[in-house]
Structure 1
């Protein structure tokens, strides 16, 4: 699928945005892993939508991290970006960190979000279901943590394969940016659970049953507490749902957003 990467000036912050596909607009918000390059699942999404895939402040070639203190600040950044792109109301698909940002955006500016798809979303503290430690240095351990099958053919797309991998610097930059907003409290907003009722749009929550990073109980909590929400769970799938189950993820997203 043809796509291009542009840079948008958002109140002085250079923001990298990759755009591809034809059809109604859709905003894709990436995970802490920083999948800011165009991926196979982007291609699948772009068969029915014009996909806008920005890099969060401090990720890839986007600037502005020095002005960011928490995920709500990133959500405000996307309020401004949507205005710059002249996108008054869009479906938002977020993965992991990006899903958390999407929820915060839908709370801050409900009129901007038409429908919300949350994929293995961060953002919550759920009693009895703690999140695992994301900030680990061993790439083999990382692969075991986030993929149901650590030998999945999609692993090299999602993660650097060694310290010699040319993407390692972007990956480390993504970790630094994630730590800035997700170190303490760890990958959640203590107020978010009480604010979910403010989300006005329909929501689809997608999860991998074998997610070892963010347990399925978090997905169930989102689905139980977001108004007009439902949960879809993929078996034999870990945290990296868009990579592990791209066809199923995109089919569920297309059906929900276009339905």
Structure 2
């Protein structure tokens, strides 16, 4: 009996240490990412480079996805000390560089507020997943079914946002993806903290931190619609000139998504679509 209690205390201590390492690494990488994105947004010379040569971000992001796939599916890579840290740091940095193009288009105030908002949202749902009594690791099939249903909904709203330009349909698209991501954040938190049906192994702290970092990245990427199109923060605090012209020296063109600025009606006489001012 005493041996079992001792083993349980040892397990709980090791699990708390594992969770602490995971969350510390995640927070460190998030702060590193925020610092670099702010520098890209503020320093005009870097801003112009990553707007003009957007393919740099594209290449680094694709390479990061290849590396993270190798890191996740090849356990031997994660087991080699030194190589696992090198690959992990490369993945994080490549993902950060992959967002440079969007960060260059955004105003630093928008970037800062939305980045901190996503950080707060991430750790709030980590906390929720840690304290709720329900074991989400038992319901992984249900989570994937919900994710598939939300995928169908998001594709539909994305299409009507891009092609039909229904007002704020892209916001619904964002919310659906965010809900799925936050559900999996709670699931990941339970696998990290342990004491559930499924849990991560104690030597996989790099993988756990990478998963949380990518959860944050998805949430943060979704906010660039607000940062670049709606502009809640910078739009009210900057001058009349667009930020992209004021700081970056080049104009930012409105994307094909977003609120409808013109009403389109069918012209039966001409069999065409005319814009009504």
TM-score (norm 1): 0.24
Structure in which a larger fraction of residues adopt strand: 1
Greater CA radius of gyration, 1 or 2? 2
Normalising to structure 2: TM-score of the pair? 0.23
